[in-house]
Amino acid sequence: MRHFIVGLLLATSACTGSIDDEEGGGTTEPPRTDVRVQVRDGYSPQASVRVIFQAADDTVIADTLTDAMGIAKAEMAAGSVTVIRSFPIITPPPPEGQRAPEIYTYVGVKNGDLLTLGDATSTRAPGAIVVTVPVDAQGTVKVVTPCGSGQGTAPNIAITVTDCPPMVGFLVTDDQQSSFFQEAAYAENIDLSTGTLAGNLAATLSATNVPPNTTVNAEERVVTGSYTLYRSGEKRIDEQPATVDLPNLTGVEQLVVARIATQGMGTQLVVARDTYSASPALIDASANLIPYIMGNPTYAPTGVSWVQAGTGTADAVFVTLNVTRGAAMGGTPGLDAEYTRLIIAPHAGTSLRMPQLPDALYNPTSADQMAGTAGLVKTTGGYDAIRAKAFAVESIVDATPASGKLVLSYSGNTPPGR
């Protein structure tokens, strides 16, 4: 499996890297004039996924399938890209229900884009590896990675993993909440016995400049890439500071996530990503805000509209639209009676036109029932900084750029997402 994954990563890097001539000299590739999509779940490429490349007026540039490496591409200067994912029928249906088709659309793509999309984990059969931890680890020891986890007593901990990358980050925590983080090359036996366990640290979360009728809740997350290793748990901090316990780690990043809700307006998530420091966090509840989405957006077959209020500007709009076909209303839904359209696009006013696909299968109609969520997004680096990974993460929050900020404004209790 490791050789297969390395091949995938090399193939991906070749999309934007350099090429060597026959004498070994390096020449830089000219700028790409195509748009590429890679679909993969975990580290497994997904072949034969339908991808539609369209111009801004919905003219079809290419209607194709991903190849064995999960990649589809088309020569285009700008427009939209839609990825249509359907899933096998499971009999009997799982407790969470059959997974309905998901249709992902990127609006405002540019030549040179490499868009990545997929689930955090694949459906490959899980395997087991053994992790050797320090012998002084106390009681039940938990080992957590982005591709699996397990627990046991020192020194040898068996963990279940699925589709791990060539290099894996391990968070080891014992019964005394002493922990360490270490990366190691993937293998059936991983030796982390020389890791140094360190006790938790206490940090304070507090808020300043809180507007009237506003509540502020915050949490600190320890992350590696887009995977969350640890959460402090959300604490309300608009009335008084809160103390949280954080692991004493190096080699990871942190996301400080503040949820700012103003009565009669809406909710905003203000997120900052930085090198992890387990230090106090002071949230300025009046800074970095963007317009609120007021009330419920209006969903129509051709697009979404909303009312917004407040200062600041947004870079993007993110919409999740759940569609139940009209023919299925009031009866037993067929296998394709429901689907979800997810769209990310540049923010331009208070409406979003939904690109119309070349066949009607996943274009909503006036007979369908539509419901969903919509949010406005602003981030360091603008729309270009989040477009490529918007559908490769569980939440748009996880796409916050390194040493940057992201703000997500939405109405209701649930932010838009997958």
Q: Map residue 417 onto helix, strand or coil.
A: coil
The secondary element (H helix, E strand) that includes residue 138 is none
For the chain, counts of helices (H) and of strands (E): 2, 32
- For the chain, residues classed under CATH 2.60.40 are 201-284
What is the Cα–Cα distance from 160 to 126, expressed in whole angstroms? 6
What is the Cα–Cα distance from 203 to 218, expressed in whole angstroms? 12
- What is the identity of the amino acid at 320? T
- What is the identity of the amino acid at 244? V
The β-bridge partners of 347 are: none
Distances (CA, A) of 371 to 98, 265, 319, 340, 341: 19, 20, 10, 10, 11
What is the Cα–Cα distance from 357 to 84, expressed in whole angstroms? 11
Q: What is the DSSP string of 163-231?
A: S--SEEEEEEE-TTS-EEEEEEE--SEEE-TT---B--EEEEEEEESPPTTEEEEEEEEEEETTEEEEE
- What is the identity of the amino acid at 243? T
- pLDDT tens-place values along the chain, 418 residues long: 333 333 333 333 434 433 334 444 556 778 889 999 999 998 899 999 999 999 999 999 999 999 999 999 999 999 999 999 998 887 787 777 788 999 999 999 999 999 999 998 888 889 999 999 999 999 999 999 999 999 999 999 999 999 999 999 999 999 999 999 999 999 999 999 999 999 999 999 999 999 999 999 999 999 999 899 999 999 999 999 999 999 999 999 999 999 999 998 999 999 999 999 988 999 999 999 999 999 899 999 999 999 999 999 999 999 999 999 886 544 445 556 899 999 999 999 999 999 999 988 899 999 999 999 999 999 999 999 999 999 999 899 999 999 999 999 998 778 888 7
Closest among 339, 406, 394, 404 to 372, alpha carbons compared: 339
Per-residue tokens: 65? 């399938």
Tell whether domain 201-284 is in CATH 2.60.40: yes
Residue 227 gets the label, from left (phi > 0), alpha (psi -120 to 50) or beta, of beta
